[in-house]
Amino acid sequence: MKVSIFNVHLEGTRTTNAQLHDIAIALQKNEKNLDSFCWYLRGMIYARMKLKSKAQNALVQSLQKYAYNWSAWEEIGTLVETKEELEALIPRLPAGYMRKLFLVHLMAHRGMAAEEFSQNSVDLSAMFPDSTYLDLQYAVSYYNQGKYERALEYFEDYREQEPFSLEYVDVQSHILFTIQDSTKLSVLAQKSFALDRYRPETCIAIGNYFSTRRDHFRALDYFQRALKLRPNYVEALIMMGDEYMELKNSNAALETYQRAADVAPHDFRTWYGVAKAFDMLAMSDHAIPYYQKAAACRPYHSQTWTAMGQAFEASAKDAQAMMCFKRALICTDKSPLLFMYIAKLYQISPTLRDDEQAAFYYRCWIEECRGSGIDKSQYYFEWEDAVTFLAEFYKEKGRFEDAEAYVHEIAHTERGKALLRELRAVRESRSDHKSRDTLAPPQPATPGDPGSHGDLAHRTVQFVGGSTGEFWVSPVPGGGGQGNRYFGASAQGSARTSRTGSRGGSGWNSPAADDVR
């Protein structure tokens, strides 16, 4: 069964209102007599006409006249793209608890106004101690930070207090999709269907359920239903793009993600999706600008930096690829595979070739694999290449004990058997000249010891935002504090690209790691 790309958004999307210009002129003629809601209407019209500055001014006028129109707050939030824009806008907005709610909303959904989030949430909790709305904002905030277990706790508490509410059911279903809890996702979808089968969020939850079962055509059907019920519903567009990617229909996925980017340019998942679609079409040069836009929207999403590095590498831009891989290392949701990518680049790149650094990062990758529970069989050939490289590297350096420790792990291969014979010959030769061993340098921790980081120094650092992480430091030959390389010791779960990055557990080990839900 082949899915046509032409029915992706022709059904369920709203065409531009041809009367917008005439309505804007009519409102302008009666500008002196406009009340708050007419200013809100004017702001929405300017926003649809892509007149961002005029839209902001009109919405500010609306809120100054009447601050309790939450739709106006939400609309003006969609027009804010950068932290600098938000800082310029805040003084123009009416003070009070509505502005505090607005800033909490921006932090939860966009990661903006992080500095004011803690104080505003405390103030609002004191004013509204039993507010379930605030609980929902905490849940969405944790979801966007990749803390899915915490977010799920808040969602489940909210469902107990509000059993007939379908607010953010789509986000909750993204979390259950990401952690592959199909049982809870099935229950959530059934309850949502019983409450309101025509709610777009219900369709998203059901679509996610079918996606976990790999029934991508039925999942697409429900995501398209959601789009018909709510034209320009960005969640439905992104989910449709994910399903087309699963079906290897990259043209349809590209068209869908581009439509989503038009609707929500502030959502990094839309740009990430466009870039992945170009990658699938083997057009890495076209993908790079979209990865850069995604990284600008969410700077600490390691999947974006890693994918961008791979795109640069595919375009033979090794220096830029290395910068992206190392940038991904400072993200808290990084994958241990980053060490392997960096090591491989140091090993094979004609411009970056450095066996010392390649050995260091290969060793880190192997140790991380042992400590983080990665399924070695999934990356067996890469692991075998890494161990072989380390064995040969240490043999050339004269560190025969270290070399032998790695050789034993590949003793079943022809190259491993040959290396083992060479090392045994060296050991027998050395046993005849024991006096020469007095000059042997002290050996580092045995690489084969699980959890050992050899000559690495341990440090704990604090990231922007207050989070901390364990780091290992490799002294670069030549000494000096500037030579230190920092990278985290463990990988936290990232969001599945659209459900998190698209849906968001560990995005690196999920069945569809590139899906950012």
pLDDT in tens, 403-443: 888 888 877 888 878 888 888 777 777 666 554 555 455 55
Q: Taking 60 as the threshold, does the pLDDT of residue 203 lie above it? A: yes
- First vs last C-alpha separation in the chain: 26
* Model pLDDT, residue 462: 46
Structural contact between residues 68 and 60, judged by C-beta atoms closer than 8 angstroms: no
Contacts of 224-227 with CB under 8 Å at 24 or more apart are: 224/7, 224/11, 224/12, 226/200, 226/201, 227/9, 227/11, 227/12, 227/13, 227/200
- Give the DSSP letter of residue 490: S
Cα–Cα distance for residue pair 270/262, rounded to 1 Å: 9
Choice between 401 and 435, residue whose per-residue pLDDT is larger: 401
Q: Extract the tokens encoding 422.
A: 């060479």
pTM of the shown model: 0.76
- Give me the sheet containing 468-474, strands edge to edge: 457-462, 468-474, 485-488
* Model pLDDT, residue 372: 66
Least Cα distance to 354 among 233, 225, 483, 466 occurs for 483
At 445 the three-state DSSP class reads coil
Cα–Cα distance for residue pair 470/225, rounded to 1 Å: 46
Cα–Cα distance for residue pair 390/385, rounded to 1 Å: 9
* Model pLDDT, residue 121: 84
Instruction: Look over the chain and give the mean of its residue pLDDT values, rounded to a whole number.
Output: 81
Q: Taking 70 as the threshold, does the pLDDT of residue 471 lie above it? A: no
Using pLDDT thresholds of 50, 70 and 90, give the confidence band for residue 185: very high
Least Cα distance to 263 among 292, 291, 240, 288 occurs for 240
Least confident of 65-74, 373-382, 392-401: 373-382
pLDDT in tens, 327-341: 999 888 788 889 999
What 3 state SS string does 331-368 have?
CCCCCCHHHHHHHHHHHHCCCCCCHHHHHHHHHHHHHH
What's CA 275's distance to the chain center, in Å? 13
